[in-house]
């Protein structure tokens, strides 16, 4: 069976990447190409979460369409656009505005994507049922455990785009994870680290068998042969109950005590406007986690410039960041998205002010991060090696237990036994604001 030359762009979050990986695997034999003019298929999995992501998706599609039109000596590639942008605006509206696209694929039809594309390509073969192949660097793979979201945050478009919570079944997730982490000699992909993702990990299973099921999934994954590290991302703060944390604390390795908890703000008035939990005291969830995991590395995401936010609210946020001392955090300037309650709220903050506030919080975090990382100098830590540095032969990019892929800093590591996909013991030689430098034993 001849491989299909494919040019792929996957935009947005890790959940979109997982969707792209599943789609590519189901196509059967494919051959990635680095020039869209050499492809038979150009596939863009779009993001539509906020306005800048929408703009990036549209620009990417138009640029690729222009490039595909310049293909010489061969048939023009099929251009397919899929994912969140399509589901947010609808294929009819997008087809009218962007006629350059041959095939629009909304999320509701995700299971049918491979068949629709194969048919459009004139390929007389059925989609492949092989296990999903990861396209991430060798050190990790994402495991998406649920689709959609059942929360009602006033600023968020995800429920409109991806629908309500739909949990993946436990046996399906265990089989998918096993295929990712099993040793290569046994037919697996030999991935040392799994990163669990969903819009809210703590909600997994509530739509099928009741609350507190995340611990059951983690316990099952932790027993998989070949898994060195298990990481949890996107933990909704209200879902981090004492019961869940107690069960997670009993799991032990390979679960790392690194928790991504998107708090979004610290002031009760702003949290209430956002429709967030812990509106009276977000510190409660921090204390709850650290009571069970004293060594926990916490990361969060924050939004500044939300409608009605004042300097008093920003001061509360800055004090909170200084007090909690997150290992890492992301700060986003609020975007007013059509169709969300927040977009119609009074007292919208000027974009210039939003960006200025974002800069202040990020500067505060830079100093905190530098101080935290400096304390690791002279220590030995396990480093998962993701990939070789494109700039320096013999230097690799890896991560310690508190560094999440793509969103946190990295550990630059070198040494005689360092290779992609390995876990190496390394001495932290140097610390910077967000990154570490290490030498393996």
Q: Give the distance between the most distant pair of CA atoms in the chain.
A: 66
Shared domain for 152 and 209, answered yes or no, is yes
Residues 12 and 56: beta-carbon distance below 8 Å:
no
- Mean pLDDT of the 349-359 span: 98
Same domain, yes or no: 335 and 390: no
Give me the pLDDT at residue 68, please. Answer: 78
395 shares a domain with 247? no
Distance CA 281, CA 310 (A): 18
134 domain residue, yes or no:
no
Whether pLDDT at 303 is above 70: yes
Whether 41 and 121 have beta carbons less than 8 Å apart is answered as yes
357 within some domain: yes
The answer on 290 and 214 residing in a single domain is: yes
Report if residue 129 sits inside a domain: no
Residue 368 placed within a domain: yes
Q: What is the dihedral of CA 331, 335, 341, 343, to 10 degrees?
A: 140
Domain-located, residue 339: yes
pLDDT digit string, tens, across residues 22-41: 999 999 999 999 999 899 99
Confidence of residue 378 (pLDDT cuts 50, 70, 90): very high
pLDDT score at 86: 96
CA-to-CA distance for 295 and 347, rounded, in angstroms?
A: 40
Average pLDDT of the segment spanning 78-101: 95
The percent helix, strand, coil of the chain (3-state, each to 5) is 40, 20, 40
Average pLDDT over residues 99-127: 95
Q: Do both 408 and 336 map to the same domain?
A: no
Q: What is the pLDDT of residues 178-236, one digit of tens each?
A: 999 999 998 899 999 999 999 999 999 988 876 558 999 999 999 999 999 999 999 99
Which residues touch 294 (CB under 8 Å, ≥6 apart)? none
Q: Name residues whose C-beta falls within 8 Å of residue 364's C-beta, 6 or more positions apart in sequence.
A: 318, 321, 322
Q: Is 269 a domain residue?
A: yes
Assess whether 309 and 414 both reside in one domain: no
Given 349, 374, 399, which residue is the final one in a domain? 374
236 and 287 together in one domain: yes
pLDDT of residue 413: 98
Categorize the per-residue pLDDT at 75 as very low, low, confident or very high, splitting at 50, 70 and 90.
confident
Q: In the predicted model, is pLDDT for residue 279 greater than 80? A: no
Domain boundary among 337, 358, 374: 374
148 and 246, same domain (yes or no): yes
Distance CA 229, CA 227 (A): 6
My answer on whether 98 and 163 are in the same domain is no
Q: Please, are residues 234 and 262 in contact by the beta-carbon 8 Å criterion?
A: yes
Same domain, 266 and 310: yes
What proportion of the chain, given as a percentage, has pLDDT over 90? 90
Question: Is 264 inside a domain boundary?
Answer: yes
Average pLDDT score over residue span 154-173: 94
pTM of this prediction? 0.95
For 83, the domain range is 4-121
Q: Is residue 283 assigned to a domain?
A: yes
Q: What is the pLDDT of residue 277?
A: 77
Whether 70 and 169 map to the same domain: the answer is no
CATH of the domain at 395: 2.40.50.140
Instruction: Locate 49 and state its tokens.
Output: 């979460």
CA distance 14 to 195: 10
Residue written as tokens 């997730």?
A: 173
- Pick the closest to residue 116 from 102, 129, 100 (CA basis): 102
- Same domain (yes/no): 37, 169: no
**What total of structural domains would you count in the chain?**
3
């Amino acid at each position: 069976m001849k491989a299909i030359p494919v040019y792929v762009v996957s935009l947005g979050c890790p959940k979109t990447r997982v969707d792209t990986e599943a789609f590519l695997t189901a196509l059967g034999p494919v051959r990635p190409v680095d020039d869209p003019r050499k492809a038979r298929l150009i596939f863009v999995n779009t993001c539509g979460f906020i306005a800048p992501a929408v703009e990036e998706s549209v620009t990417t599609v138009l640029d690729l369409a222009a490039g595909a039109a310049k293909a010489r000596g061969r048939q023009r590639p099929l251009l397919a656009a899929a994912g969140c942008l399509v589901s947010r605006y609808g294929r009819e509206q997008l087809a009218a505005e962007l006629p350059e696209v041959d095939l629009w694929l909304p999320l509701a039809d995700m299971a049918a994507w491979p068949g629709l594309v194969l048919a459009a390509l004139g390929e007389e073969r059925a989609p492949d049922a092989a296990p999903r192949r990861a396209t991430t660097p060798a050190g990790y793979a994402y495991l998406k455990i649920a689709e959609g979201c059942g929360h009602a945050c006033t600023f968020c478009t995800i429920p409109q785009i991806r629908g309500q919570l739909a949990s993946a079944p436990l046996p399906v997730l265990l089989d998918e994870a096993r295929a990712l982490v099993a040793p290569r000699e046994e037919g697996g992909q030999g991935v040392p680290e799994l990163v669990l993702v969903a819009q809210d990990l703590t909600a997994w299973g509530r739509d099928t068998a009741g609350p507190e099921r995340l611990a059951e999934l983690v316990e099952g994954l932790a027993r998989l042969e070949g898994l060195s590290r298990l990481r949890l991302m996107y933990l909704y703060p209200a879902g981090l109950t004492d019961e869940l944390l107690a069960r997670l604390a009993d799991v032990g390795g390979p679960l790392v005590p690194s928790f991504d908890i998107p708090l979004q703000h610290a002031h009760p008035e702003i949290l209430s406007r956002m429709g967030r939990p812990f509106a009276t005291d977000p510190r409660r969830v921090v204390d709850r986690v650290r009571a069970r995991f004293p060594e926990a590395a916490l990361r969060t995401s924050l939004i500044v410039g939300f409608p009605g936010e004042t300097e008093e609210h920003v001061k509360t946020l800055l004090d909170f960041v200084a007090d909690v001392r997150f290992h890492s955090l992301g700060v986003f300037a609020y975007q007013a998205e059509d169709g969300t309650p927040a977009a119609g709220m009074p007292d919208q903050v000027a974009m210039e002010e939003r960006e200025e506030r974002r800069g202040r919080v990020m500067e505060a975090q830079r100093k905190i991060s530098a101080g935290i990382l400096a304390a690791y100098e002279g220590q030995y830590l396990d480093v998962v090696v993701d990939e070789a540095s494109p700039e320096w032969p013999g230097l690799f990019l890896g991560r310690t237990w508190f560094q999440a892929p793509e969103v946190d800093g990295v550990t630059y590591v070198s040494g005689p036994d360092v290779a992609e996909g390995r876990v190496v013991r390394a001495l932290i030689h140097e610390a910077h604001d967000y990154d570490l430098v290490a030498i393996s034993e």
